[in-house]
Structures are given as C-alpha cells and as structure tokens.
Amino acid sequence: MDTRITKQIQNFNLYQIAKSGQCFRMSPVPGSENPACSVISGSHHAIVSQEGSAVSFFCEEKELPFWERYFDLETDYGRFLAAIPGEDAYLQAAAAFGSGIRILRQDLWEMIITFVISQQKSIPAIKALVEALCTRYGTQIESFVYRFYAFPSPEQLNRASLEELQALKLGYRAKYIKKICEDACEGLLDLNRLPSMGYEEAMEYLMRFYGIGRKVANCVCLFGLHQIDAFPVDTWIRKILLREYAPKSRLTASVPKTRLCDALVEENFSRYVGFAGVIQQYIFYYERQLAGRYSKTSD
DNA sequence: TGCCAGGCTTCAC
DNA sequence: GTGAAGCATGGC
C-alpha cells in the first residue's frame, strides 16, 4: 500500500540535499510539477517533492518512518545555522546559501563502498559507478512506481571477482572493494559493531581496512553513522581552508599544506561541537555550486 | 596534452 | 613518523 504524506519542514531543500555530494542515488524526476527526486537507499525507494516548506513523500506506507529518519527530520537545523558567528563572513554566506541541507542517515555498508569508490572521482563518475554496481550485483526490486536495483549486500558484492570489478572501470579501487567485501563476509569488518562506537573509535576501526583512509572514514562516520562531528577534508575543503582561513604568512611558511589544513580545521571548526559535519557540508556545497557557475565541472 | 576529481597505499628517508 | 610517488579513469 503506497501513500503520500506532506509535512511542513523548515531548513529543508531537496535540490540542495541532492546536490550536496553525500548521496549518489538521488536524482530529479524528469517532467515533475514541483521539484521532485527519486531516492534510493539500500533496498528502499521513495519519490520526494517539495513546494516551499511543504515536503511530500511518496512511498509504501510502512516505509515512511524509514524516510523520516533518513532525512533527519527530528533535528532542528535552525539551531546550527543560528550558532554561526557573524565574524565568519565566508561561513555565514555558505550557510545561508545551503541552509536546506541535511545530513542524511544513510546505509552504513553503502556508504563504505560508495566512498571507497569516490576517491579521485567526480560526483557524476561516482554516481555512474554506484549505479553500475547496483545493476550488476544488487537485487531487482519492484517499487510502487518502477523497478530499481538495491545496493548489493556484502555477500552479493563479494560474488564479483577482482577482474569483474576492474571491468566495471573501478580502476585501482577494485582491489580495495574486493578486500573489504571479503573482510565483511568473514566478519572481520563487523557492520553491527560500528553504530555503537564513538567517533574516534569508529574512525580508528574503519581505517584498519584496506582502501579506507582518513577522508573516507570521515565520510562513512558522517553519512553512514551520523557522527556529525566528523569533518571530511577533501580537495574542495582543502582549497577553501587555504584560501579563506590561512593568513599569507602561514601559506608561505615551510609547514606542509596537509598539516596546515589540520591546524586550520582545529582552529576554525572544532568549536562547532555536535554539528561540525553540517558546517562542512555548507562550505562544500557552496564552493562547488559557485565553481559550477563558472565552469561545467559541477553536475 | 595536461590537469583535476569527496585519496589511499607503498616506499624511501 | 613524514613526504613523495604511483595508481585508473573520464571529463574538460
């Protein structure tokens, strides 16, 4: 039994969420009246549309609680926006620009594989590879609207040989994914343990696995475990830190840029206890959207 | 052709 | 412990 529920939600923008680079299976529905997106997470599917603060969820009735949790509807994001100090003009502008972003509560396993894939890839390329994995190894599901492929389980994905993964053009990431699948199937990577861990413990645990470094582990923590103190530093965030937060004297000093970025995150963003990851998403989205205005690199 | 993309592992020092 | 090199692929 499918249903349509409309809710009034503040600080929610479907378009911004879809473009925020945290999810890769959320796509605009062509020809829809209001901005509408098809969203797939794990083996769940919904159509979500928005008109002003009215957000409508089209899904099977029993799935509604899943999507309420997925979009983190219980959290007051206005509180985070209000906590940004006026003296940080860049952050003020970024937060105002992306004030409808939410940190999605996504599937842990899907986040691990997706962000291993994300290394040195553009967002459109990541989407294409994730979709290829789902189509090739995921279970086909008849939704209330159409057919789609669920994200493959560890067991399903582990059926792929290294050669098959390489054939999907995963490049050097293929061997990482193969090993992580083996570890997950053998219980070495215990997906049930991670949700009960704190941020530091989860980071340390995730980084033990082949192909998961600090940035990927942070993304998994933020988007798969809802550890919203996680602050992933990728090439875009690094660019912002060095341009907006590093005085010239520190740029010319002989301190390696990676170390400087660590210090800049600590000095400028550690104050946002309990929502640093939200702040990170604001600046990531802002930077990418502004870059997209001047080039076609942004999807 | 060269650079860049939600980086990581390996290796030399 | 640290920094550079090498890694696959596609888009611009």
Residue A75 gets which letter from DSSP?
S
Q: Please indicate, yes or no, whether residues A130 and A195 belong to a single structural domain of this protein.
A: yes
Say whether A177 sits in a helix, a strand or coil.
Answer: helix
Residue A100 located in a structural domain: no
Q: Please indicate, yes or no, whether residues A217 and A254 belong to a single structural domain of this protein.
A: no
pLDDT above 50 for A296: no
User: Chain B: nucleotides under 7 Å from a protein CB?
Assistant: 4-9
Residue A143 located in a structural domain: yes
Across chain A, mean pLDDT equals 95
Average pLDDT over residues A290-298: 67
pLDDT above 70 for A297: no
Q: Please indicate, yes or no, whether residues A182 and A255 belong to a single structural domain of this protein.
A: no
Sorted by sequence, the CB contacts under 8 Å of residue A197 that are 6+ apart come out as: A205, A225
Nearest residue (CA) to C1' of B4: A120
**C-beta separation of A173 from A211 below 8 A:** yes
From the CA of A205 to the C1' of C2: give the distance in Å.
23
Q: Please indicate, yes or no, whether residues A178 and A219 belong to a single structural domain of this protein.
A: yes
Q: Can you give the pLDDT at residue A212?
A: 98
User: Chain C: nucleotides under 7 Å from a protein CB?
Assistant: 2-4, 7-12
Q: Please indicate, yes or no, whether residues A125 and A30 belong to a single structural domain of this protein.
A: no
Domain count of the fold of chain A: 3
List pLDDT tens digits, range A214-254.
999 999 999 999 999 999 999 999 999 999 999 988 888 88
Q: Can you give the pLDDT at residue A298?
A: 45
Average pLDDT over residues A72-93: 98
Write out the residue range of the structural domain in which residue A112 sits: 108-223
What is the spatial distance between Cα A242 and Cα A237, in angstroms, rounded to a whole number? 9
Residue A44's identity, in one-letter code, is H
List beta partners, residue A140: A149
A295 pLDDT tier (thresholds 50, 70, 90): low
Residue A89 located in a structural domain: no
- Show the tokens assigned to A253: 């000093």
Average pLDDT over residues A69-77: 98
Catalytic, out of A121, A215, A239, A296: A215
Q: Please indicate, yes or no, whether residues A212 and A242 belong to a single structural domain of this protein.
A: no
pLDDT above 90 for A115: yes
List pLDDT tens digits, range A254-291.
889 999 999 999 999 999 999 999 999 999 999 999 99
Residue A82 located in a structural domain: no
Q: Can you give the pLDDT at residue A299?
A: 58
User: Can you give the pTM of this predicted structure?
Assistant: 0.97
A237 strand B contact, CB < 7 Å: yes
List pLDDT tens digits, range A149-163.
999 999 999 999 999
Residue A148 located in a structural domain: yes
What is the spatial distance between Cα A57 and Cα A160, in angstroms, rounded to a whole number? 35
pLDDT above 70 for A111: yes
Of the three residues A193, A223, A253, the one that is the final residue of a domain is A223
Nearest residue (CA) to C1' of C11: A297
A35 strand C contact, CB < 7 Å: no
List pLDDT tens digits, range A131-148.
999 999 999 999 878 899
Backbone angles phi, psi at A107, to 5 degrees: -70, 130
Residue A230 located in a structural domain: no
Residue A68's identity, in one-letter code, is E
A127 catalytically annotated? no
Q: Please indicate, yes or no, whether residues A281 and A219 belong to a single structural domain of this protein.
A: no
Q: Please indicate, yes or no, whether residues A64 and A119 belong to a single structural domain of this protein.
A: no
Q: Please indicate, yes or no, whether residues A264 and A214 belong to a single structural domain of this protein.
A: no
Q: Please indicate, yes or no, whether residues A170 and A204 belong to a single structural domain of this protein.
A: yes
Q: Please indicate, yes or no, whether residues A202 and A118 belong to a single structural domain of this protein.
A: yes
Residue A92 located in a structural domain: no
What is the spatial distance between Cα A67 and Cα A221, in angstroms, rounded to a whole number? 19
Of the three residues A203, A223, A243, the one that is the final residue of a domain is A223
Where residue A56 sits, what CATH number does that domain have?
A: 3.30.310.260
**C-beta separation of A238 from A261 below 8 A:** yes
Q: Please indicate, yes or no, whether residues A44 and A67 belong to a single structural domain of this protein.
A: yes
What is the spatial distance between Cα A21 and Cα A186, in angstroms, rounded to a whole number? 31
Q: Residue A170 burial (CB < 10 Å; 0-12/13-18/19+)? A: buried
Nearest-nucleotide field for A285 (CA, C1'): B6
Residue A85 located in a structural domain: no
List pLDDT tens digits, range A173-208.
999 999 999 999 999 999 999 999 999 999 999 999
